[in-house]
Structure 1
Amino acid sequence: MHKWLILAALSGLAACSDGETAPNAIPQDTAIPAAAQRETPDGALPAVPNGREIQVLAFGDSLLAGYNLPRSDAYPAQLEAALRARGIDARVINAGVSGDTTAAGLQRLDFVLDGLEQKPALAIVEFGGNDLLRGLSPSLARDNLDAMLARFAEEDIPVVIMGIEAPPSAGSEYRRQFNAIYPELAEKYDAALVPMFIAPLIEDRTLVQADQIHPTRNGVAAMVSLTIDTIAPVVQKAAVAE
């Protein structure tokens, strides 16, 4: 299958809901079991985390929620383990909901923030795939993401944006508008950007579940490996700024 057809499938990011988290549920913390804390996604023994615990909010759809995976294998949990392996005492909160569009994410953002015990030092924002799958307006997706980022800015919470790209089958004008969303908003809000965080899933189909959409545990680990070098410095900078 051509990689752009694969991307079109991956862009669904869970049109079906896994039922792990109700749309209006207060997100549960992704406390990693002791066994998971002892090793990173690639199996290497981590360094002992130093300093105080840093709160990171992972806010997105099924690619963060961990569709069809134990919560300990989802992206927030594996990212937490990878950060701890670098000596960063992070706790990554899983606020992913399968099937969420940008509109659904914006709708529940205040509820999520109000439900947290303390303000996070950093937010990872990952939306847009379901908008792409449903052919929703790029301008609407942009407006929704813009409003989310403005809300985080109001709370003085730094953001890492997880970007995706529309496939050629979406049409040149749609692609032009959609693909511009993430870098333009990253520049507007001075946010760190991962341009194509699902790239490992497109390049290696063994990292994708049988539904041809969602990552396996190893697929999540590959996504963490791709994104950790962008996220770790931002987490450290946010911790110092607190």
Structure 2
Amino acid sequence: MNRRDCNATVLAAAALAYLPFRAGAAEPGSAPVILVVGDSLSAEYGLARGTGWVALLERRLQEGRRTARVVNASVSGDTTAGGRSRLAALLERHRPALVVLELGGNDALRGLPLETTRDNLRAMIRASRDAGARVLLLGMDMPPNYGERYRAQFRAVYTDLAREEKVALVPFFLAGVADGPQAAALFQDDRIHPNERAQPILLDNVWPQLQRLLPRA
């Protein structure tokens, strides 16, 4: 990953940022909502509609006859600040039982302070919990060229928050994709965004923690 690729990703976000979100406000007696708040890794950037890991999650829930409904509120190019600014309206609109937070990668690519990322994620965790939702935090990492010290500090943002706020954590959302033996075959040409082949792996990374947090039927 490099800054030039990051800038291309951010510019591409403009076309996707205004796509409508799925579903309306939750109503009493309706299926519990899983709200996914993420960036391009969850917004199907560069993928055919319906092939991203969030769409695969919805399909898995349906096949398993789980009553939860999935709302994908992810925006390509988004940062933790952007997610934080959008979250209150999303919580009010969808009244989720579970919030999945997949943000932070763009903060690091833009060189934003780690403490700012930490504060934004903490605020989102607390706002979701105050709204009555459980929270699943998806951890991220940076490529080796960022240096081991920075990478350790970045990873600690997620592990520390999960411990301090007592929320569920997927330690590395891209496990088996970015660090796998066939990583090159699992990314799009930009070498930033996982391709369609990688999406089931991403879902499998999230699923064990997510299913533990689903409301019981």
Both structures adopt the same fold (TM-score exceeding 0.5): yes
1:230 matched residue in structure 2: 209
Shift of 1:191: 1.2
1:43 matched residue in structure 2: none
1:218 matched residue in structure 2: 197
Q: Cα 1:212–1:175, aligned 2, differ >3 Å: closer, same or farther?
A: closer
Instruction: Determine whether 1:102 maps to 2:97.
Output: no
Given candidates 32, 45, 48, the residue that maps to 1:67 is 45
Structure 2 SS opposite 1:71: coil
Q: Cα 1:26–1:152, aligned 2, differ >3 Å: closer, same or farther?
A: farther
Structure 1 SS opposite 2:112: coil
Structure 1 SS opposite 2:32: strand
Name stretches of at least 5 consecutive residues in structure 1 with no aligned partner: 1-5, 31-51
Q: Cα 1:114–1:185, aligned 2, differ >3 Å: closer, same or farther?
A: same
Q: What amino acid does structure 1 have at the position aligned with 2:12?
A: S
- Separation in structure 2 between the aligned mates of residue 196 and residue 140 of structure 1, nearest angstrom: 20
Q: What amino acid does structure 2 have at the position aligned with 1:101?
A: T
1:179-229: CA deviations, max 9, x gaps? 111111112222111111112321232221122111222211111122212
- Separation in structure 2 between the aligned mates of residue 225 and residue 201 of structure 1, nearest angstrom: 11
1:88-110: CA deviations, max 9, x gaps? 22221110000011111111111
2:22 matched residue in structure 1: 28
Structure 2 SS opposite 1:156: coil
- Separation in structure 2 between the aligned mates of residue 166 and residue 173 of structure 1, nearest angstrom: 11
Shift of 1:70: 3.2
Structure 2 SS opposite 1:62: coil
Asked whether the equivalents of residues 34 and 69 of structure 2 are also in contact (C-alpha less than 8 Å), the reply is yes
- Separation in structure 1 between the aligned mates of residue 111 and residue 57 of structure 2, nearest angstrom: 30
2:101 matched residue in structure 1: 125
Shift of 1:120: 1.0
- Separation in structure 2 between the aligned mates of residue 90 and residue 216 of structure 1, nearest angstrom: 26
Q: Cα 1:55–1:138, aligned 2, differ >3 Å: closer, same or farther?
A: same
Shift of 1:29: 3.7
Shift of 1:129: 0.4
Q: What amino acid does structure 2 have at the position aligned with 1:207?
A: L
Name stretches of at least 5 consecutive residues in structure 2 with no aligned partner: 25-29
Shift of 1:172: 4.3
Given candidates 53, 63, 87, the residue that maps to 2:31 is 53
Given candidates 154, 172, 178, the residue that maps to 1:196 is 172
Structure 2 SS opposite 1:66: coil
Asked whether the equivalents of residues 27 and 115 of structure 1 are also in contact (C-alpha less than 8 Å), the reply is no
Asked whether the equivalents of residues 26 and 115 of structure 1 are also in contact (C-alpha less than 8 Å), the reply is no
Structure 1 SS opposite 2:42: helix
Asked whether the equivalents of residues 91 and 131 of structure 2 are also in contact (C-alpha less than 8 Å), the reply is no
TM-score normalized with structure 2 length: 0.84
- Separation in structure 2 between the aligned mates of residue 140 and residue 27 of structure 1, nearest angstrom: 27
RMSD: 2.5
Count how many residue pairs are aligned between Structure 1 and Structure 2: 206
Identity of aligned residues (%): 35
